[in-house]
Amino acid sequence: MNYTPTEEHLIEAMERMEIVDAHEHLPPESSRTNAEVDVLTLFSHYTRTDLITAGMKPEEYDRMFDQSIALSERWKLFRPHLENIRYGSYARPAFIAAKEFYGYDDINDDTYEAISGRMAAANTPGIYDRVIREKCNIKVCLTQAGRTDFDRNYLIPLMPLDIYGSVSSAEEVTKKADDLQMQVSHLDDYLELANRGVNKWKSEGAVGLKMSTRPSTSPDQKAAEEQFSKLLSGEKADMRTINNFLMHKMLDIAAELDMVVAVHTGMWGDFRTLDPKFMISIVPQHPETRFDIYHLGMPWVRETAVIGKNFPNVWLNFCWCHIISPKMTCSVLDEVIDLVPMNKILGFGGDYSKPVEKIYGHLVMAREDIATVLGGRIDRGLMNMDEAVCIAQKWLVDNPRELYKLDM
C-alpha cells in the first residue's frame, strides 16, 4: 500500500511504540509449537467465513487442516477459492505473513510448498517472542483461551463471564461446586461460589471477564431464588430469570474485584442477537463496572460510538475491526475523534489464536487505518503531528494499560 508522507511519518512513530494488544485468543506457546503447521494454517481462523461464503464446503475446510492428508491434496481443495478471497481484508494478514516472515511475495501454486517448509522450520519455541515482541513490538497481549496458565510476560488472561454467570442444570451446579469444594443448596451459596471462582482467576492473573451483549431485564433476586430452588430440586425452572440475575451479579463482582468486563458486540452469524444497543440497558445499572465494548458493534459502529460517548464506564475497543473492514473502521475512527474523549479508545487487538504471525499483518493494517484518520486531520489543519502521535500513543499503549491496570 502507498502512503502519503504524513501517513508514513505516523506509521514510523507507531512502529516505535511498545504497544498493548488489547485482545487475542492465543493459547500458551506450546499449543502452537506442538502442532503441525503449513501455508494453509495462514488461512485458518477468520478467513474461514470468507472461504465458506465463497463456496467451500465446511467439511472441505476441515480437511484443509487434516495433516494426515498430503499438502498437495489439501492445497487443491483450497486453491479455487483463493482467487475469490485474496482481495478481502481477512486474507491480507496471511499475505503479509508470507512475505514478512517467510520471504514470499505471493501465496500460489509456485510458492505454497516452500512457504510451508519455512513455516514448519520456524515453528519452534521462541516463536511468540519473535512474532509478538521482535516483529510487532507488542509488550503484552490480553488473551482469552478459557485458561490462566500463561507466561504472563506475554499473555494476560480474561475469562468467560458465563462460566459462573450462567447455569443450565442442577448437575452442572453440583459440578461447579465440587470443583471449588463447596456445597450449593441456595442461590446465596451459588453467589459465594461465583465470587470464589472469580477471585481464584484473579489470583491467577486474570484482569477481566468476557461476555456477549444480550437482551436483559432488571435483576429480580426473589424470583431468581425461587427459580434456582426449583432448578436444584429437579423441577422445570425459568432459566432466563436465573441467568439474567446471575449476569448482573457477575457485573457487580467484576467491579468489586476491579476487573474489566469485555463485551463482544456485532458480527457473528445472526448478528441481530449481538446488537450493541442491548448494552444501553445494562451499562447504567452498573456504574462501578468498567465495560470494554469490542468490535464497535460492527456494523452498528455509529450506535456503538454514541454508547461510548454517553456512558462514563464504557471504553471502545477496535480489536478485530481493522481486518473486518478497514473502510468501516476508518470511518468510525474519524467519527469517534469528534464524539468520544481520547482516553476511551483502545486501538488494536489482533483477535487470533493459532496463526500468531497474522497478528503482524493485522497490526500493519491497524497502523494504516490510524495513520489514514489522524493524517487526514493533520492535512486538514485540525491537529499537528505531535498531537496525532500523542493520540496514537493513547490508543495503542496508555488506554489499554490504564483500563486494565496493567503493571508495565
Segment contacting Zn ion (CB under 5 A): 157-165, 177-185, 285-293, 349-357?
A: 349-357
Compare residues 292 and 351 and give the one whose CB is closer to Zn ion.
Answer: 351
Q: Residue 394 in contact with residue 343, Cβ under 8 Å? A: yes
Alpha helices in 207-267 (DSSP H): 221-232, 239-256
Sort 110 into a burial class: Cβ within 10 Å, 0-12 / 13-18 / 19+.
exposed
**Strands in 2-55 per DSSP E:** 19-24
What is residue 77's DSSP assignment?
A: H
State which H helix or E strand residue 289 sits in: none
CA 329, 145, 14: angle at the middle one, nearest 5?
40
| 351: contact with Zn ion by CB under 5 A | yes
> Is 351 or 369 the residue whose CB approaches Zn ion more closely?
351
Minimal distance, residue 281 CB to Zn ion, in Å: 24
Q: State in angstroms the smallest separation of the CB of 141 from Zn ion.
A: 12
State yes or no: residue 7 binds Zn ion (CB under 5 A): no
| Minimum CB distance to Zn ion smaller for 176 or for 295 | 295
| Cα 8 versus chain centre, distance | 27
**Stretch near Zn ion under the rule CB under 5 A, chosen from 45-53, 218-226, 298-306, 348-356:** 348-356
Q: Which of these segments, 11-19, 203-211, 347-355, 378-386, binds Zn ion (CB under 5 A)?
A: 347-355
Residue 351 CB, shortest distance to Zn ion, in Å, is 4
The residue number with the shortest CB distance to Zn ion is: 351
In this structure, what C-alpha cell is assigned to residue 124? Answer: 519452534
CB nearer to Zn ion: pick between 94 and 263: 263
Q: What are phi and psi of 225, to 5 degrees?
A: -60, -45
User: In the bound complex, what is the minimum distance in angstroms from residue 175's beta carbon to Zn ion?
Assistant: 26
Helix (H) or strand (E) holding 141: strand 138-143
Q: How far apart are CA 402 and CA 382, in angstroms?
A: 27
Write the interaction track for Zn ion spanning residues 147-166; mark x where CB under 5 A is met and - where it is not: --------------------
Stretch that binds Zn ion, among 60-68, 135-143, 195-203, 346-354 (CB under 5 A): 346-354
Among the candidate windows 44-52, 296-304, 338-346, 351-359, which touches Zn ion by CB under 5 A? 351-359
Radius of gyration of the chain (CA): 22
- Judged by beta carbon, residue 231 or residue 356, the one nearer Zn ion is 356
Closer to Zn ion by CB, 21 or 351: give it.
351
The CA distance from 260 to 211, in Å, is: 11
CB of 274 to Zn ion, least distance (A): 12
Site for Zn ion contains 369 (CB under 5 A): no
Nearer to Zn ion, 64 or 319 (CB): 319
Q: What share of the chain is helix, strand, coil (3-state, %, to 5)?
A: 55, 10, 35
CA pair distance 253, 40, nearest whole angstrom: 42
Q: How far is the CB of 275 from Zn ion (least distance, A)?
A: 18
Nearer to Zn ion, 227 or 317 (CB): 317
Q: By CB under 5 A, which span of 14-22, 207-215, 343-351, 373-381 interacts with Zn ion?
A: 343-351
Tell the smallest beta-carbon distance from residue 222 to Zn ion (Å).
36
DSSP 144-201: -SS-----TTTEEEEEETHHHH----HHHHHHHHHHTT---SSHHHHHHHHHHHHHHH
Q: Give the binding-site size for Zn ion (rule: CB under 5 A).
A: 1
Closer Cβ to Zn ion, 84 or 212, answer by number: 212
Q: What does the binding site for Zn ion look like in residue numbers (CB under 5 A)?
A: 351
